[in-house]
Chains A and B, each alone.
Chain A
Amino acid sequence: MKLDKVQKYLLKEIADLSDVPGGAYNIRSNSESIARQSSANIDIIPKKDVSGIDIRIKEGTKNESVHIPVVMTESGLKEEVYNDFYVGDNADVEIVAGCGIDNCGNHDSEHDGIHRFFVGKNSKVKYVEKHFGSGEGSGKRILNPVTEVYMEENSSVEMEMVQIKGVDDTVRTTIAELKEGASLIVRERLMTHNKQQAFSVYTVSLNGKGSNADVVSRAVARDDSFQKFEAKIVGNAECKGHTECDSIIMDNGKILAVPALEANDVDAALVHEAAIGKIAGEQIEKLMTLGLTEAEAEQEIINGFLR
């Protein structure tokens, strides 16, 4: 696999990879797959009609991982990629995705990844997605991920979605539908700088008895950036749903949090929480008494908050 310095840097940032990973993988760079490997239990098959891949994970596959990172270094690229994950029953796998864009040019670079997950009965999936932008060009780095999760009985999915640097514009759309006994945990971490904008929209439908979802977002908006977090949990059966948006605003940052709950069943128990505020002065003072400067204290507080 041939990668230049910038590509290697991006790969390290988004997937913590310094070489090809173990297990199944597909590494995409500037709109082409530059390395791909299936494993005995995980097949990666390129799509014929559109750009993207099908990832087929066999029933009963345990403790295996799939890495599908994307890096873009050519200014002005715009792509839509469709990746479908078919996870067989009784599997336990980790999926690491992520996209890094380095744009040194004057044209906008955009990657729109549409990921669909079909999670089989009793299966367990951990999904990690990191988005990152770098480069000094005036062209924007744009990422519009769409994530759809369809969960069969008693399956569980844990999603860790992180975007903490350099993405100028993003609209993140996540849809999940849960059958009986299914469990979804989402941990989102977002930080925006300068004039960046981020929209994050979740719609989680708890359709089966005993299903549950916990969608928690932690966000920091700095400089003149703007974020909108919109999370809706729909309870269509006896279920438990919780959504939380906890945000720090700094400088002229603005955040709009719109949590929404819809209960269509008398046994649906749904809770939402939202809090927005600046860093508490006493937190900064405490860290200053430990010898940190005010700026170092702020950084520690944010690092912890977005951990």
Chain B
Amino acid sequence: MLKIENLSFNVNSGEKEIIRNINLTIPDGKLIVITGPNGGGKSTLAKLIAGIEKPTQGKIFFNDTDITEMNITERAKLGIGFAFQQPVKFKGIRVIDLIRLSAGKELTITEACGYLSLVGLCAREYIEREVNSSLSGGELKRIEIAVVLARKSLLTVFDEPEAGIDLWSFNNLIDVFKGQREEIKDRSILIISHQERILNIADEIVVLSGGEIEKQGKKDELLPGLIGTSSAVEKCKGVKKGVDC
């Protein structure tokens, strides 16, 4: 369980508040989707949870341990996974290397390929590729998700996982999130997204706006009111199959 208490994050010596006194609990075994308008603080909150940013005020607890002062590595070792919105590129590091590092053990090629297949990549073509700019944005994004899946974290934060992903993979992605929940009991998933179809698989929805929680509640209660707003957009309306959007 992740518990966020009175969390704030300011920049420019306190002049600009990105996150304002947030209180939020992510219970075990739940899929929570955080939505809200652009610039509302969603990605910053994700980074604060992963330890990439440090809060100005407040505390974060993970399974009753205060992780506020812990660095990224310590949080990862406790079981917090993070899929970047903008996948990071490397020189010389291959897909297989990242998957193995993520799993924290030697995996066979077949095992590693399994993760790529989950995100709709033809594994043999990609497993030895370098994670560099020769890959398209969509390919990098799918590899990013496959790498994070290999980590089998207790809590995984996905920051806009659908960005740059084509329609076919998007459908797969929904199945991946569903599968994740079945694979490990008590595993929690936190997704930053304003895609209606992702919101639709949530247990709970949190609407973050202006750095504050505007609304929070069960999907069935909250989603109908969000449809048609910028917090719940329809994926690729009218876009052909297989086209990145």
Contact = CB atoms under 8 A, between A and B. Distances in A.
B72 A285 contact: yes
Contacts of A306: 92
B88 A283 contact: yes
Interface residues on A, range: 20 to 34
A287 B148 CA distance: 11
Nearest to B84: A286
Nearest to B100: A290
Interface stretch (B75-83, B183-191, B204-212): B75-83
A292 B101 contact: yes
A290 B151 contact: yes
A67 B96 CA distance: 32
Interface in B60-84: 71-73, 76-77, 81-82, 84
The majority secondary structure among interface residues of chain A is helix
Contact of B88 (A246, A282, A292): A282
Interface in A278-307: 280, 282-283, 285-294, 300-301, 303-307
Interface residues of B, number: 25
Nearest to A289: B82
A288 B84 CA distance: 12
Contacts of A280: 88
B92 A288 contact: no
Contact of B72 (A289, A304, A307): A289
Interface string A258-281: 000000000000000000000010
Contact of B101 (A285, A287, A305): A287
Interface in B99-122: 101-102, 104
Given A282-B88, A291-B101, A294-B73, 14 more contacts: A286-B84, A289-B52, A289-B76, A289-B81, A289-B84, A290-B76, A290-B104, A291-B73, A291-B77, A291-B104, A304-B93, A304-B94, A306-B92, A307-B92
13 contacts: A218-B92, A280-B88, A282-B84, A282-B88, A288-B71, A288-B73, A288-B76, A289-B52, A289-B81, A290-B147, A291-B76, A291-B101, A301-B90
